[in-house]
């Protein structure tokens, strides 16, 4: 099965990115054909500083490689290395009604948070659909809050196939992540835009400081506590083994335990999980030629697939290109 996912280079990647998507991407490379792209076209809706965008794009590649993505098993590439995706986005826009875009929840949410209401932001789901369809992806791993985009992609694939009486596109399926929503320091969804993140590759001291600031209630130490309503426990359960998670849940219910104790253990678990990856990332930063080679090689592989699909797309809708 071919799995497709994209990560927008809009800032430092954090625990929410890892638990909500990256962990599953790295696991999927063992059993599926994985295409993972760095969505630098999408990032233009929020980042309009050229040097900063180049830097962030490189950082996403460093992060994935440090966390264990194997370029021999998975295809890690820049979205912009496959320019055909923007051609397909235009073609899809000609068979997609504006009403579908009007129903996009993420657009309304982003505008409500103060992002400029640009046409790029409004038509974001069309480019996202092109990203998915141009590789004939079978499934797209997402959190529950992103499932609407995959449903919209399926709609657009159907619009094209029905309009041109063809079967060019595979209808992709949603592959829901186990950890759909990761809470941030304040209990809201962990997000760069909310400023409530725990960044993956920060040094241990600032990471520990942020973990110790996770919002909790005022239940006294001696009283029982509800692990299912606790932000700290919600984060701990993502990093701890099941047996340790269950033991902490029991301690919550028994009482006699303060939230500070759980936070300290969460900081230890975080360092155990990401400390070695931080060291690998530091080594990769000294060999950026290797990182560029990975991206360029994977980009050529991805573009070869995309170009094959675009031959069928152009044939179906009558677009002619000069040979050569």
CATH of domain 201-282: 1.10.240.10
CATH class entry, domain 2-182+288-317:
alpha beta
User: What pLDDT score was predicted for residue 78?
Assistant: 98
Q: Give which of 62, 47, 48, 50 is closest to 8, Cα–Cα.
A: 47
Pairing assessment for the beta strands 139-142 and 173-176 based on DSSP bridges: parallel
Write out pLDDT tens, residues 107-144. Answer: 777 777 777 778 888 899 999 999 999 999 999 887 66
Alpha helices in 116-220 (DSSP H): 119-122, 124-133, 147-163, 204-212
- Report how far residue 44's alpha carbon sits from residue 50's, in angstroms, rounded to the nearest whole number: 9
Q: Report the first-to-last Cα separation within the chain, whole angstroms.
A: 32
- Report how far residue 319's alpha carbon sits from residue 263's, in angstroms, rounded to the nearest whole number: 59
The residues near 132 (Cβ < 8 Å, ≥ 6 apart) are 4, 140, 150, 153, 172
- Left, alpha or beta for 11 (phi > 0: left; psi -120 to 50: alpha)? left
- Stretch(es) of the chain classified as CATH 1.10.240.10: 201-282
Residues of the chain with pLDDT under 50: none
Q: What is the mean pLDDT of the chain?
A: 92
User: What pLDDT score was predicted for residue 81?
Assistant: 98
- Report how far residue 24's alpha carbon sits from residue 27's, in angstroms, rounded to the nearest whole number: 5
User: What pLDDT score was predicted for residue 324?
Assistant: 63
- Stretch(es) of the chain classified as CATH 3.40.50.620: 2-182+288-317
User: What pLDDT score was predicted for residue 178?
Assistant: 62
Pairing assessment for the beta strands 139-142 and 74-78 based on DSSP bridges: unpaired
């Amino acid at each position: 099965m071919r799995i497709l996912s994209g990560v927008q280079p809009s800032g430092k990647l954090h625990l929410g990115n890892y638990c909500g998507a990256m962990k599953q991407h790295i696991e999927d490379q063992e059993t599926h054909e994985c295409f993972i792209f760095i969505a630098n076209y999408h990032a233009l809706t929020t980042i309009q500083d050229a040097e900063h965008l180049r830097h962030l794009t490189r950082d996403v590649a460093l992060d994935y490689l440090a966390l264990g993505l194997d370029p021999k098993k998975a295809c890690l590439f820049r979205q912009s290395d496959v320019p055909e995706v923007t051609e397909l986005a235009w073609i899809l826009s000609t068979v997609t009604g504006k009403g579908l875009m009007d129903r996009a929840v993420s657009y309304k949410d982003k505008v409500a948070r103060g992002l400029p209401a640009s046409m790029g932001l409004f038509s974001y789901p069309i480019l996202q659909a092109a990203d998915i369809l141009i590789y004939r992806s079978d499934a797209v791993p997402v959190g529950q809050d992103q499932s609407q985009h995959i449903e919209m992609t399926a709609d657009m694939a159907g619009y094209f196939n029905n309009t041109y009486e063809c079967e060019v596109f595979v209808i992709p399926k949603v592959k829901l992540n186990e950890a759909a929503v990761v809470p941030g320091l304040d209990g809201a969804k962990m997000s760069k835009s909310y400023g409530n993140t725990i960044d993956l590759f920060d040094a241990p001291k600032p990471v520990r400081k942020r973990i110790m600031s996770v919002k909790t209630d005022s239940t006294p130490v001696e009283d029982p506590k509800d692990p299912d309503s606790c932000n700290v426990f919600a984060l701990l359960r993502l990093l701890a083994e099941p047996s340790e998670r269950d033991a902490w849940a029991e301690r919550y219910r028994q009482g006699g335990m303060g939230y500070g104790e759980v936070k300290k253990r969460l900081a230890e678990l975080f360092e155990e999980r990401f400390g070695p990856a931080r060291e690998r990332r530091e080594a990769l930063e000294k060999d950026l030629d290797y990182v560029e080679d990975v991206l360029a090689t994977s980009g050529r592989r991805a573009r070869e697939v995309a170009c094959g699909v675009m031959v069928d797309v152009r044939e179906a809708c009558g677009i002619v290109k000069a040979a050569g």
